[in-house]
């Protein structure tokens, strides 16, 4: 394949905006609430300690929504790029849905965990999970009732940071799609990409908080911008 602009290694960061057109809600609406909850109540270890039932019910609902959603044109385009691109490529998603995988993408990393996964606080095992956690099912490995959503909450360390940093260090192109740039460390990846001399491109409905760091910003819905960009890359 001809390499556009000498690009071989690509890192793509995605956020809630790429799944918005699949009907999954983004986080930072004007009212500061997430599905009618304060984020710190449902997305922090302290919130979970305070009211585990509320948090389990909340993620039971998210799990149902994820399973009811379908990949949109943006997920399908990334899967096409993943399939065709023979250089390095990593889709780092902050999203907990599995829409990239269901679109067919293979090189996906969930830095904030996965909605369809449960994590046992007793033995550490992680399990694919599509049912409820509210009614306290036992861990399939150790039998303890200690399963929590396998989600990285505020105050917790995102997954696989070493792998992400290594990929960004080698990247020729860093692309950010549908993320507000409000939450670190993901919001800082563009700066790291710049210091690694990668080109940086932002595809978003509106300018993100880190917009000034990008060489190029294209504004619009992901379902239009992402397929257009992928066609350019594969031309
Ligand atoms: N196409 C492209 N971008 C869109 C679309 C769309 N159809 N709809 C919304 N957006 C943009 C918004 O303009 C916004 O900039 O997507 C961004 C979504 O931002 P957030 O709601 O803040 O989501 P995200 O950046 O993924 O949040 C990061 O915060 O709460 C935590 O852990 C959670 O992973 C999440 C993290």
Q: Which of 165, 30, 31, 21 is nearest to 95 (CA)?
A: 21
Please give the Cα distance from 90 to 167 (Å, whole number): 7
List ligand 1's pocket residues with C-beta within 6 A. Answer: 15-17, 20-21, 26-28, 39, 94, 112, 178-180, 182-183, 204-206, 208, 221-222
Ligand 1 atom closest to the Cα of residue 222 is 1
Q: How high is the pLDDT of residue 34?
A: 75
The more confident residue out of 5 and 200 is 200
Which stretches of 21-180 are assigned E, i.e. beta strand? 33-34, 37-38, 89-93, 108-110, 113-120, 126-128, 147-151, 173-177
Q: How far is the CA of 22 from the centre of ligand 1 (A)?
A: 13
pLDDT tens per residue across span 32-47? 567 788 888 999 999 9
Direct distance between the N- and C-terminal alpha carbons of the chain, in angstroms, rounded to an integer: 9
* Cα of 2 from ligand 1 centre, angstroms: 32
Name the residue among 233, 232, 224 with its Cα closest to residue 76: 224
Pair of tokens at residue 193: 């990409």
Which residue minimizes the CA distance to atom 36 of ligand 1?
183
| Average pLDDT of every residue of the chain | 95
Question: Which atom of ligand 1 approaches the CA of 203 most closely?
Answer: 2
Q: What is the pLDDT of residue 170?
A: 98
Q: From ligand 1's centre to the CA of 180, what distance in Å?
A: 5
Of all protein residues, whose CA lies closest to atom 17 belonging to ligand 1?
A: 179
For residue 187, which phi and psi values (nearest 5 degrees)? Answer: -65, -20
């Amino acid at each position: 394949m001809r390499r556009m602009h000498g690009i071989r290694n690509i890192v793509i960061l995605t956020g809630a905006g790429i799944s918005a057109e699949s009907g999954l809600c983004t986080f930072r609406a004007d009212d500061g609430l997430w599905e009618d909850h304060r984020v710190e109540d449902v997305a922090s270890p302290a919130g979970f300690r305070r009211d585990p039932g509320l948090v389990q019910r909340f993620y039971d609902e998210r799990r149902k929504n994820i399973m009811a959603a379908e990949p949109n044109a943006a997920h399908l385009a990334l899967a096409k790029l993943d399939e065709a691109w023979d250089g390095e490529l990593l889709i780092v998603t902050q999203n907990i849905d599995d829409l990239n995988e269901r679109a067919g993408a293979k090189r996906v990393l969930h830095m904030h965990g996965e909605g369809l996964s449960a994590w046992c606080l007793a033995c550490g095992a992680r399990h694919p999970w599509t049912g409820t956690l509210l009614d306290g099912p036992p861990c399939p490995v150790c039998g303890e009732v200690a399963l929590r959503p396998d989600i990285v909450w505020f105050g917790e360390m995102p997954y696989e940071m070493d792998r992400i940093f290594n990929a960004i260090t080698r990247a020729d192109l860093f692309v950010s799609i549908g993320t507000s740039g409000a939450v670190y460390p993901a919001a800082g990846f563009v700066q790291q990409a710049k210091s690694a001399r990668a080109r940086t491109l932002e595809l978003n409905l509106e300018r993100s908080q880190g917009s000034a760091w990008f060489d190029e910003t294209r504004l619009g819905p992901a379902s239009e911008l992402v397929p257009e960009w992928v066609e350019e890359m594969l031309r």
